[in-house]
Amino acid sequence: MPDYYTPNAFPCVSSRFKEVVERFEPDVHQFFPVAVVDKAKEKIDERWLWVVCNRIDGVDREHTNLFFQNQNLWTSSYKEDGEWKRVRDPKVAFNKQQTEGFHFWRDKHLFGEGIYVSDEGAQALQSENLSALRLQHQETV
């Protein structure tokens, strides 16, 4: 059973993963227990459905080459003069001042399932050797 997976876009995590999150941000996020059962409906494990409760505006406007559509959503494709344009090699950078004090968050202007993690949070998760966890570094300025 993996320590991290996302059925239907909701992260489902192991107790070890949950402990790391709560060490950095106690009483911030929501975790709902999920019993993992086999075909005979016997409980074989427990996981936690994780609701990331930090929702911030963390994207640095000067170091990101995406288009800020209607001052609401960062996107790599946009309509200009009736014609669709696409940003080549999209780049997202986070602003250190805007993300300071947060360790696990979703960005309110980025579309998708992305959960963003501070460098400290990422190091702690990696030190646990959690299975199925894939972290990708994002620039912070």
Q: Are 59 and 74 in contact (CB under 8 A)?
A: yes
- Looking at residue 75, its pLDDT comes to 85
- Looking at residue 79, its pLDDT comes to 82
pLDDT tens for each residue of 95-136: 999 999 999 999 999 987 789 999 999 999 999 999 999 999
Residue ranges in the chain whose pLDDT is less than 50 = none
Q: What is the pTM of this model?
A: 0.89
- Looking at residue 97, its pLDDT comes to 98
For the chain, the domains span 4-140
